[in-house]
Amino acid sequence: MNKSEWKKLAWIVGGFLVCFYLPVGVARFDNAVAESLALVKWYAREHVLLCLVPAFFIAGAIACFVSQGSVMKYLGPKANKLLAYGVASVSGTILAVCSCTVLPLFAGIYRMGAGLGPACAFLYAGPAINVLAIILTARILGLEMGIARAVGAILFSVVIGALMHLIYRKEESAKAAAAMQMPETEPTRPLWKNAVFFAAMVGILVFANWARSGDVRAVFLCCPGGLQTYAVEGALVEQTETTVTIRDRTGNEKTIPIEEFKGLQEIEKNPVYEWISGARWGLVTGLLVLFAAMCAFWFTKTELAEWVGSSWGFAKQILPLLLLGVLAAGFFLGRPAHEGIIPNAWVEKALGGNSIQANLFAAVAGAFMYFATLTEVPILQGLMGAGMGKGPALALLLAGPALSLPNMLVIRSVMGTKKTITFVLLVIIMAAVSGIIFGTFF
């Protein structure tokens, strides 16, 4: 047999041995498999239709309706650095999406010619500089933690983008030179029409997901067992000597044993946030009507077909990798309040104090775990209650929301293995160093 056939045989034998020795029936393995399926089910229900689908259409529209010249002017390798990084970080902040929803948008601007630095700044800023998450962090974990998270996330988006540009500056120069040789395309419609069109799509994405993962009205119940954390939004119904009952936002009641109850904190309601939360489906409906009218009157059938095809291209590339990554994350790390194959006790033991090892472990663990928007706050509250130091807590906050195993798989498919490893290492190292500095002073 030739070398290729031997490789095939090795894969077949390896696959057979894995199947032969699968530890089915072992409680921890069976639970980890169940956790991976439960996490991917939750992800499909909570994130795909209202988060990823709008993001795919926005990414497709960027590829079809935004001129490459415009992207190069504001975000390209030769663009004004202050303008480019400012636009990238502000754009990401406004969206306030999770580490997976930002991926189609990142892929869209990167393929249209955005410089590696500004594109990476956007990639980090989207999930990390979430104003609501920062406010919630300050109220639940302390003002100093909230300020440190805000300052760290803003600096990270710019510094990581600048370092990525510096490390790969030769490739970026070649990319800019090639783009300069491409002919300028005349816009097919006025700039204001494109702006309104994109604003409607972004509005649908933002308002459809308003408060889906938690909001400032949340009531947090944390068990003393670290990651065993409950996060229940709603109002306190009853507290007895044995139980605590909470009515959530959907009207359902949840009763929790008193021995698992650490404390609750009802966050002061913001009138504007409350109004948007109550009116969000009306806002989404209005934007959908406006969006449909724009599609009917401003775009040709050929343009719409090209747009749908481009959006489908992003979905084909990104969605399978995301779901595979979520399955893996659930298997290894489980969900909040549930264990995967890795025992929670190992994580809790490694996060105590403010050592270099604790901060580095927190940054690595945060980078590979999947956090839905705002869920990192109650998880960290539980971990800190179990002895986690403030330094590792900040390291996890700076690395966790911006990265995840599913996120890494997709980034690799967009910008390659080497750049992905560099980006992930920069986030982990900077998060760990920030945690050490913060833990030293606080």
pLDDT in tens, 85-121: 877 777 666 665 667 778 888 888 888 778 888 888 8
Distance CA 302, CA 125 (A): 34
Q: Are residues 202 and 110 in the same domain?
A: yes
Q: Are residues 238 and 312 in the same domain?
A: no
Distance CA 225, CA 331 (A): 20
Do the beta carbons of residue 357 and residue 105 sit within 8 Å?
no
Q: Are residues 204 and 325 in the same domain?
A: yes
Q: Are residues 278 and 150 in the same domain?
A: yes
Is residue 146's pLDDT more than 70?
yes
Is residue 264's pLDDT more than 60?
no
Is residue 253's pLDDT more than 60?
yes
The pLDDT of residue 192: 84
Q: Are residues 231 and 134 in the same domain?
A: no
- Domain holding 233, by residue range, is 218-260
Q: Are residues 133 and 255 in the same domain?
A: no
Q: What is the pTM of this model?
A: 0.71
Total structural domains within the chain: 2
Residue 278, domain member (yes or no): yes
Q: Considering only CA atoms, which of 49, 58, 25, 130 is closest in space to residue 291?
A: 58
Residue 8, domain member (yes or no): no
- Which of 260, 285, 312 represents a domain boundary (last residue)? 260
The pLDDT of residue 428: 94
The pLDDT of residue 215: 44
* Mean confidence (pLDDT) of the chain: 78
Residue 10, domain member (yes or no): no
Is residue 300's pLDDT more than 80?
yes
Residue 9, domain member (yes or no): no
Among 135-149, 169-183, 323-337, 343-357, the range scoring the smallest mean pLDDT is 169-183
Q: Are residues 206 and 223 in the same domain?
A: no
Is residue 386's pLDDT more than 90?
no
Q: How confident is the model at residue 426 (pLDDT cuts 50, 70, 90)?
A: very high
Do the beta carbons of residue 205 and residue 58 sit within 8 Å?
yes
Q: Are residues 105 and 60 in the same domain?
A: yes
- Which of 236, 260, 284 represents a domain boundary (last residue)? 260
Using a pLDDT cut of 70, give the percent of the chain over it. Answer: 75
Is residue 223's pLDDT more than 50?
no
Residue 386, domain member (yes or no): yes
The pLDDT of residue 181: 54
Among 37-46, 134-143, 178-187, 348-357, the range scoring the smallest mean pLDDT is 178-187
More confident residue, 301 or 348: 301
- Which of 260, 283, 312 represents a domain boundary (last residue)? 260
Residue with tokens 């754009």: 91
Which amino acid is located at 409 in the chain? L
The pLDDT of residue 87: 77
Q: Are residues 225 and 124 in the same domain?
A: no
Six token digits for residue 353:
């104090």
Q: Are residues 113 and 191 in the same domain?
A: yes
Distance CA 311, CA 358 (A): 42
Distance CA 124, CA 303 (A): 31
Q: Are residues 385 and 284 in the same domain?
A: yes
Residue 345, domain member (yes or no): yes
Using a pLDDT cut of 90, give the percent of the chain over it. Answer: 12
Give the neighbor-by-neighbor strand order of the sheet with 253-257. 218-222, 229-239, 243-248, 253-257
Q: Are residues 212 and 228 in the same domain?
A: no
Residue 132, domain member (yes or no): yes
Which amino acid is located at 44 in the chain? A
Is residue 216's pLDDT more than 60?
no
Residue 5, domain member (yes or no): no
Is residue 184's pLDDT more than 60?
no
Sequence-separated (6 or more) residues with CB below 8 Å from residue 141:
377, 380, 381, 384, 393
The pLDDT of residue 317: 80
Six token digits for residue 184:
């300028």
**Beta-bridge partner residues of 229:** 222
